[in-house]
Chain A
Amino acid sequence: MATVTYKAASRIYPGSDKPAVNKLDLEIADGEFLVLVGPSGCGKSTSLRMLAGLEDVDEGAILIDDRDVSNLPPKARDIAMVFQNYALYPHMTVYENMAFALKLRKTPKAEIDARVKEAAELLQLEDYLKRKPKALSGGQRQRVAMGRAIVRQPQVFLMDEPLSNLDAKLRVQTRSQIASLQKRLGVTTVYVTHDQVEAMTMGHRVAVMLDGLLQQVDTPRALYETPKNVFVAGFMGSPAMNIKTVPLTDTGAKFGDTLIPLTREQVAAAGEGGQKSVTVGVRPEHCTIADTGIAVEVELVEELGSDAYVYGFAELGNGNGAERFVVRAQGGEIPRLGEIVHIKPQVGKEHIFHAESGERIAV
């Protein structure tokens, strides 16, 4: 068990002046499940590989349990990693795959056997121990990769998109298995994914990255409720938040004919730097279909059974023409295609951002 600390850690690939990871500061507590999330190329995998020792730390440092590991080789860091394509040894059986690391550490045979058997039982792999990876399904391979990490009893688990090669149903199932397994073992875990649903459901805390920069790190609920900037607001939540830049008035944000009232402080903060507009985010689930409000022409309805997502276009009077708008509709009130519906954002649930900097403006 250990803590992990990134201290202004940067990775600059040779031949590039833009860092892939830019001064990452992050503290991960003992036993915590931290998820790194972001779009492709945001530096989340690079951050993880820096911790694994597969990428150099060009500036700053990485600490595991207050020990600077920045210049240690992977094998000296006492970590175990699960790869996206599992990276199982194709010429070894499942048993040998799991036992390999222990063998290299000269663990006694009896102990290797006990630990592999225990992990196999935990992951329901007992029947496959003598098989080669080629003869396993994708889900089984994924479990072997997990098993290989578990038998090591490392200080930190690293997982690099371990679920992205599984089909949708298995992914959801394995997602909860990994989360409960981590809880049981209590090992500090850093988990990389591009899927915000995975991030929200699995992580104790989630770190959102973009272009090598850490945007925000917080609990899933806090990210959802108080995103620090426009990017985090749009990235977390599905379907994505409606984020629109609209004219700013003395009393609020003007959505066409509808006014979203803002406090005086908010108006002042939004107007900073002579801004005449403000960026407002409203989640689809925080809108209600009413008799008055923002007029939206329905283009598509996604029926999910319990409720439905209504996609449409709205004129917001900001000079951008018709803009896309998504609303969650309750079972009874599902509109037809082409219909004009009126949408009312729930008071107090809107997110206000500065139109230029994209930073959140607190209530």
Chain B
Amino acid sequence: MATTTQNPAPAATTAEPKGKRGIKSTGGVMRVFSHGFLALWAAMIILPLLWMILTSLKSNDEVFANPLGLPSSLHFENFGRAWEKAGIGGFFVNTIVVVGGGVFFTMALGSMAAYVLARYQFRGNRFFFYLFVSGMMFPVFLALVPLHSIMDSVGLLDTKYGLIMVYVAYSLPFTVFFLTSFFKTLPHGVAEAAMIDGAGHYRLFFQVMLPMAKPGIISIAIFNVIGQWNQFLLPLVLMPSEENNVLTQGIANIAVKERYDPDFTALMASMVIAMVPILIAYTIFQRQIQAGMTAGALK
């Protein structure tokens, strides 16, 4: 990668006068550094993933005999074993339910709250905005013990509803923060046109503003899916019984329980299963995520 970026620089400098050469070559050096750094970063992320996928297809003996090599034959039964015996299937369903509910309610409540905070002037607007945003200030560890006792006392401990509610509360601050600034960037004229066309507040929001905010909504939704999918600490504290475990907990349990007879290939297969939905979501919505994250910054 470094050589390809370096190539055009000397070619250009031969034709350029001397004064410009210095500037150009510093640009070249910077590019080599930044590309080199990105390449290193990519390698650090991709190589362990690759190793995980390869290991998930090996036999348990092969993991120790040839840890870095390619699998001699593909052992897809590892995935079956992970799904059935290690109980990943159940964890998977739990995760889908909790993350699905969590993201749905986060987006529904977050987009409405952000819209009102961004578009309507009223007393206390700033107060509510900062109230939401201040949620980002506190690390989740601070809330763990009180959360546990609150959930316990209202009878929501170890239930999916309870965890969904906690996820929603946990995700709302950033969602509201992000979407408020997103709604502010949308043109005022369109809202005014809709009001003159006869739209009331609800119709204006659901039929005009929400569709216009789609790039922002999608990117923050994906962000929340990833965040809630990877959540480990909250379910660990709030979902103690095994049949309620989500993927992250379940996988950690497999690793802990099989201390003396490790089934590494099934563990790796479980991790691949846990990773696939996120990877697919990210691949599909890549364009929207980028568009949403850079909205307002470009143009």
Contacts and interface: CB of A to CB of B under 8 A. Distances in A.
Are these two chains actual partners, yes or no? Answer: yes
Interface of A: 52-54, 73-75, 79-81, 83-91, 100-101, 104-105, 148, 152
B61 interface: no
Contacts of B199: 75, 100, 104
B195 A74 contact: yes
B91 to A, nearest CB: 38
A171 B230 CA distance: 56
A90 B195 CA distance: 16
Nearest to A91: B211
B211 A81 contact: no
Contacts of A74: 192, 195-196
B197 A100 contact: yes
A44 B15 CA distance: 57
A68 to B, nearest CB: 19
Contacts of B195: 53-54, 73-75
A324 B192 CA distance: 44
B192 A54 contact: yes
Contact of A89 (B192, B194, B196, B214): B194
**Main secondary structure on B side of the interface with A:** helix
Contacts of A75: 195-200
Nearest to A82: B193
B198 A104 contact: yes
Among A79, A84, A100, find the residue whose CB has the most chain B CB atoms closer than 10 A.
A100
Nearest to B214: A91
A264 B211 CA distance: 71
Given A87-B187, A91-B211, A91-B212, A101 B197 contact: yes
Contacts of B189: 83-87
A90 B198 contact: no
B281 interface: no
A188 to B, nearest CB: 16
B190 interface: yes
Contacts of B190: 87-90
B35 interface: no
Contacts of B214: 91
Nearest to A86: B189
Nearest to A154: B196
25 contacts: A52-B192, A53-B196, A54-B192, A54-B195, A54-B196, A75-B195, A75-B197, A75-B198, A75-B199, A79-B196, A80-B196, A81-B193, A83-B189, A83-B192, A84-B189, A85-B187, A86-B189, A87-B189, A87-B190, A87-B192, A88-B193, A90-B212, A91-B212, A104-B197, A105-B198
The 5 closest A-B pairs by CB, nearest first: A87-B189, A101-B197, A87-B193, A75-B198, A91-B211
Contacts of B196: 52-54, 74-75, 79-81, 101
Contacts of B187: 85, 87
Interface of B: 187, 189-190, 192-200, 203, 208, 211-212, 214
A81 B194 CA distance: 10
**Main secondary structure on A side of the interface with B:** loop
Contact of A104 (B192, B193, B203, B211): B203
Contacts of A152: 197
A74 B189 CA distance: 13
A297 to B, nearest CB: 46
A205 to B, nearest CB: 24
A88 B211 CA distance: 13
A337 B102 CA distance: 78
Contacts of A90: 190, 212
Nearest to B203: A104
Nearest to A92: B211
Given A74-B195, A148-B193, 8 more contacts: A74-B196, A75-B197, A79-B196, A80-B196, A83-B189, A89-B193, A90-B190, A104-B203
A164 to B, nearest CB: 13
A84 B187 CA distance: 12
A53 B197 CA distance: 12
A301 to B, nearest CB: 42
Contacts of B197: 75, 100-101, 104, 148, 152
A157 B194 CA distance: 15
A121 to B, nearest CB: 21
Contacts of A148: 193, 197
B33 to A, nearest CB: 38
A130 to B, nearest CB: 17
Contacts of B193: 81, 83, 87-89, 148
B299 to A, nearest CB: 14
Nearest to A149: B196
Contacts of B208: 89
Contacts of A100: 194, 197, 199
